[in-house]
Amino acid sequence: MMKKLTALLLALTILTGAAALAEEAKAPDSILDIDYGAFAQVEPYVAYAKSPAAGGFIALHWAPSRDAAIAHHMNDGGEVIVFALSDDWAQVMDSESGYIGFVQAQFLTQDQSAAAEADEEKPYIDFDIKMDSIPQNYSYEMEENAGMLFATFTPENPADLYLYVSVAYSPDFAGYTLKNELSEEEFARAAAVLTAGFNDPATEVRETEHGTALITVTENDAQGDHSDIVTVWQGYVIHITLQKASELTEEDMALATKIASDMWIVEQ
């Protein structure tokens, strides 16, 4: 599957003001008042996950509501099979994992060719992720696909924090690192993009021990907290998704910040 590397231009999105994405976010549904009759079955077809944030993950929910539990995280550009549609949601199967659930229709596209053509125009950078240390009581797995690296930090205790990381290089921002010198307007535009899939997000900027700014969006829902963290380092866009079945704590956010601080990108 081709990953949409063009969707990784976070800084470009910040500077060109794609705040309209936030306006597309739908009002929250009640998980107790879901109208499944609004869905129409369709002849199954292939579509691709389209993250509103840079190289992020798409949430696959058990039910067509952002209050419903997240069954799986799909990689940006990941292939799905669509079975049914409503105005706002699609029932799909993730082709890679086999999970079946619901995603917001605005985060799907059938246009893989444009992404593939854009990818062919960009130089391929062979790189690896190195970690200074792995958090205690966590396992770490990494996979590569179409010039992107995906890392998963899985806790020994299923009730603890899960972390999903994607990294890809954007030649448009070679040498660029996201620092805390963002203007209020630039931060507002970045926040608009990152909060497109949230109900009632809280946005802040954290900082790694190396001075790299981390734009953080956090939200509590009926099934627990989740948070997205995005940054750019030397042209590499790094996206960290946090998922927990209970409330995220300051210790959880500090752990994600430490992972970002301990992560090194090494060109081969």
pLDDT tops 60 at residue 191: yes
Give dist(CA 86, CA 115) in Å, integer: 26
**Residue of higher predicted confidence among 171 and 30:** 171
Listed by start position, the domains of the chain span 10-20+41-114, 124-267
Average pLDDT over residues 173-180: 77
Average pLDDT over residues 170-182: 75
Q: How confident is the model at residue 112 (pLDDT cuts 50, 70, 90)?
A: low
Give dist(CA 235, CA 183) in Å, integer: 20
CATH number for the region 124-267 comes to: 2.60.120
Give dist(CA 123, CA 171) in Å, integer: 8
Instruction: Give the pLDDT score at 222.
Output: 52
- 10-20+41-114 adopts what CATH topology? SH3 type barrels. (2.30.30)
Q: What is the DSSP string of 58-119?
A: EEEESSSSTTSPEEEEEETT-EEEEEEE-SSEEEEEETTT--EEEEEGGGEES-HHHHHHHH
**Residue of higher predicted confidence among 195 and 143:** 143
Average pLDDT over residues 26-38: 59
Instruction: Identify the DSSP state of 123.
Output: P
pLDDT tops 90 at residue 35: no
Average pLDDT over residues 238-254: 86
Give dist(CA 103, CA 49) in Å, integer: 9
Give dist(CA 69, CA 85) in Å, integer: 19
- What three-state secondary structure class fits 102? strand
**Residue of higher predicted confidence among 2 and 167:** 167
Instruction: Give the pLDDT score at 251.
Output: 92
Average pLDDT over residues 254-267: 88
Instruction: Give the pLDDT score at 137.
Output: 92
pLDDT tops 60 at residue 124: no
* pLDDT, tens digit, 9 for 90 and up, residues 57-83: 677 888 888 777 777 777 777 889 999
Q: What is the pTM of this model?
A: 0.62
Q: Are 219 and 241 in contact (CB under 8 A)?
A: no
Q: How confident is the model at residue 126 (pLDDT cuts 50, 70, 90)?
A: confident
Mean pLDDT, all residues of the chain: 74
- Could you list the beta-strand ranges (E) of 156-248: 162-169, 202-207, 213-221, 224-233, 236-243
Average pLDDT over residues 198-227: 76
